[in-house]
Amino acid sequence: MSTQARGGGSIQAQAGGHEWEIVVGLEVHAELATRTKLFSASPNSFEGDPNTNIDPVCLGLPGTLPVLNVQAVELAIRVCLALNSEVRPSEFARKNYFYPDMPKDYQISQYDKPIGVGGFLELPSGKKVGIVRAHIEEDTGKSTHVGGTGRIDGAEYSLVDYNRAGVPLLEIVSQPDLRSAAEAREYVSELRAVLLAVGASDGKMEEGSLRVDANVSVRRRGERLGTRCEIKNMNSLRSIGRGIEYEAKRQVALLSAGESVSQETRHWNESEGRTLTLRGKEEATDYRYFPEPDLVPLRPSSEWVESIRSALPELPRFRRARLAAAVGRDASSVALFVERNQDTLAIEAVAAGADPAAVLKHLEHNLSEGTGRLTAGAFAELIAMESKGELTSNQVKATLAEMAATGADLKSVLADADYQAVSSSRLSSVLDELVAENPVEWERYREGDSRERKKLQGFFTGKIMRLTKGQADGRAVAELLRKRAQV
Amino acid sequence: MSSEHRISIEDVAHVAKLARLHLSDEEILRFTTQLADVLDHASDIESLNTEEVEPTSHPYPLSNVFRSDDPGPTLSSEEALSQGPEVEDGQFRVPPILIRSQQSGAAAMRQ
């Protein structure tokens, strides 16, 4: 009875525990895909040895002056337009802080006059997420902490590599419009697709080309916004989902226990699966922003902006819709093909009569490295042959790879590969060799009971496949073995 | 507005702390007076009618000064590192960023 009462009480508490709503806004830093740095001419590349792509400007040496990279501005404008933001006259500012990753002791950023204001990103679900602003800034160097646990606290000293210092970034700030960890992931994934589509960034999260900070708060449905925490260090879509989920649960537990959430910056620890305090509100830094005296205002002319707008490629959501209609699927299930730029080929192949399911199957599994010079016509013809059983799946795979690599037409690829021979005369001569080399096994195959025969059939089939590099047809091999052994 | 209202001793002490300047009480007083004088001087502009003048962050009538996105000369790693007081494994070696007693405060300086 008491157990029941307790159980009932806890259900009561949950039901009466209100429906919690997660509120998330994201700050995404995207490295812009320029050839050189934002304010100087050393390469935008931090592969290879440390401190090799550096120059006096990005090292902050005395007497150097920054000059703005026009391509970084163009890429930023492309993103603003793709996000339906207003491109405004903007200014650069100095954000002052002491940390060795910026040798000047300030970072050049945009503050009260960012290049992009307003706008929205439409998610595959159809939801429109508001954009607050987008601003251009320079990336920092990379520090490695030595000694202690390898973390900043307790380190004996740190090493700094400035290859990344001065790389152009675009920081895109969303409205707190996201309502779940899954929706936050969807937003990042779609934003990444847009950045890739307009050629603004390579979007590689694991390599740090795309970095995401999340402002997370919770509230009882219908109430005003709760106190938020900023979560840093989520380096993949998966950790964004996990980090936000964890943080929301932490805040709900605090509030449910009658405690309060304190506004702070928290660090996502991937291996421990939790967020930890990095710094509190009272430690929030005063960056002493002021206008950058070494750079003049940026005022993109309307002609420039309009020429960029007219050259923008079709955005992912429109491409997904077109592909989805062509193959008879829903838009969210064809995102992969748009991301891989396979949508045009797919639509054309289907228009040439190919089975949509087969087109998508080959694009997903056999052409993941790219479709190269494969034409829609040849693709459709090959799929037709496969569906008639004229080619094995391995032959189709090899043919696709060959056509993608060389652009050769289907007939010549098939003729060169001599697939006919594999399935008849060559198969027969391969078996001749095997029988001669393995007389004992062949005898056991012919004379053995059904279990023995099955085992030896596997033995010979495996050898034939190896000798024909997997291009022999499994059914043809089984047929040949049976005929030859007269079993 | 009188000069002592333009900037307070507390303002100067705060800015000095942010700039990692270690000032004595006497220096803070002296700089407060000097900064107030500078602000007074700048406030002369308040006597002018600037209604028709657009605010600017920059004295020059220039905008859109660009460079093309072409790679140019870089410094060699050896040249760059030769300026570093301490070097290790091709990188600049710097003292510990957090000092135990200041850990939280110094962490706050990270962007």
| Of A421, A436, A437, A428, the residue nearest A471 (C-alpha) | A421
Q: What distance, in Å, lies between the first and last C-alpha atoms of chain B?
A: 36
Q: How far is B33 from chain A (nearest CA, A)?
A: 21
Cβ within 8 Å, pair A297-B58: yes
Q: Tens digits of per-residue pLDDT, A23-39?
A: 999 999 999 999 999 99
Closest residue by Cα to residue A421 from A468, A479, A461: A468
Helix (H) or strand (E) holding A220, with range, is strand A210-220
CB contact under 8 A, B91 and A41: no
Give residue A480's pLDDT. 86
Structure tokens at A140: 């920092």
Identify whether B91 is part of a domain: yes
- Residue B5 has what pLDDT? 64
Q: Which of B66, B82, B87, B102 to mutate to test the interface with A (most CBs of A within 10 A)?
A: B66
Terminal-residue alpha carbon distance, chain A: 73
Residue in B with minimal Cα distance to A32: B69
Beta carbons of A71 and B68 less than 8 Å apart: yes
Q: Which residue of A has its CA nearest to B96?
A: A157
For testing contact with chain B, the best of A35, A296, A298, A302 (most B CBs within 10 A) = A296
User: What integer pLDDT is reported at residue B110 of this predicted model?
Assistant: 44
For residue B27, the distance in angstroms to the closest alpha carbon of chain A comes to 21
Mark yes or no for CB contact B58/A296 under 8 Å: yes
Residue B84: domain span: 77-111
Q: Is B107 a residue whose pLDDT tops 60?
A: no
**Domains in chain B: how many in total?**
2
Report d(CA A334, CA A20) in Å as an integer: 33
What is the interface pTM, i.e. ipTM, of the complex?
Answer: 0.83
The pLDDT value given to residue A13: 33
Asked whether residue B72 is domain-assigned, the answer is no
Contacts of A296 in chain B (CB under 8 A): 58, 60, 62-65
Specify the higher pLDDT residue, A484 or B32: B32
- The DSSP call for residue A43 is B
How far, CA to CA in Å, does A87 sit from each of A78, A168, A286, A435? 10, 18, 28, 76
* DSSP per-residue letters across A338-364: HHTT-HHHHHHHHHTT--HHHHHHHHH
CB A120 within 8 A of CB A128: yes
Q: Sorting pLDDT into bands at 50, 70 and 90, what band is A20? A: very high
pLDDT at B53: 86
Predicted confidence at residue A467, as pLDDT, reads: 85
Between CA A398 and CA A395 the distance in angstroms is: 5
Does the beta-carbon distance from A152 to B98 stay under 8 Å? yes
Question: What are residue A311's phi and psi, to 5 degrees?
Answer: -95, 0
Q: Which domains are present in chain A?
A: 13-304 (no CATH), 316-417 (no CATH), 423-485 (1.10.10)
Lowest mean pLDDT among A26-30, A90-94, A272-276, A419-423: A419-423
CB A161, CB A130: distance < 8 Å: no
A248: left (phi over 0), alpha (psi -120 to 50) or beta: alpha
Q: Is B103 within the bounds of a domain?
A: yes
Average confidence (pLDDT) over A254-271: 93
pLDDT confidence bin for A390, thresholds 50/70/90? confident
Taking Cα atoms as reference points, which of A78, A316, A323 lies closest to residue A192? A316
Provide the percentage of residues in chain A whose pLDDT is more than 90: 68
Determine, for residues A34 and B18 on separate chains, whether the beta-carbon distance falls below 8 Å. no
Q: Is residue B32 part of a domain?
A: yes
Specify which residues A265 forms β-bridges with.
A230, A279
Average pLDDT over residues A397-415: 87
Pick B110's closest partner by Cβ from A35, A56, A99: A99
pLDDT at A17 over 70: no
User: Is the pLDDT at A2 greater than 60, yes or no?
Assistant: no
| Residue B6 lies inside a defined structural domain of this protein | yes
Q: Nearest CA to CA, how far is B48 from chain A (Å)?
A: 23
| Residue range A4-24: mean pLDDT, rounded | 54
pLDDT in tens, B32-74: 999 999 999 888 888 888 888 888 888 888 999 999 999 999 9
Same domain, B40 and B82: no
Contacts of A215 (CB under 8 A, 6+ apart): A24, A25, A26, A27, A176, A228, A229, A230, A231
Q: Is residue B53 part of a domain?
A: no
For residue A223, give both structure tokens. Answer: 């109430």
Whole-Å CA distances, A387 to A358, A371, A390, A411, A484:
9, 21, 8, 17, 29
Task: Lowest mean pLDDT of A282-286, A407-411, B5-9, B18-22, name the range.
Answer: A282-286
* Residue B92 falls inside a structural domain: yes
Mean pLDDT (whole number) for A9-16 = 34
Q: Do A98 and B89 touch (CB under 8 A)?
A: no
CATH code, domain carrying B19: 1.10.20.60
Question: Which range has the worst mean pLDDT, A388-392, B94-98, B105-109?
Answer: B105-109
The rounded percent of chain A whose pLDDT value lies above 70 is 93
Best to test chain B binding among A37, A51, A233, A295 (most B CBs inside 10 Å): A51
- The predicted model gives A194-213 an average pLDDT of 94
DSSP reduced 3-state for A331: helix
- pLDDT tens digits, A136-163: 999 999 999 998 777 777 789 999 999 9
**Closest residue, chain B, to A294 (C-alpha):** B58
Residue B59: inside a domain: no
Contact B62/A296, CB-based, under 8 Å? yes
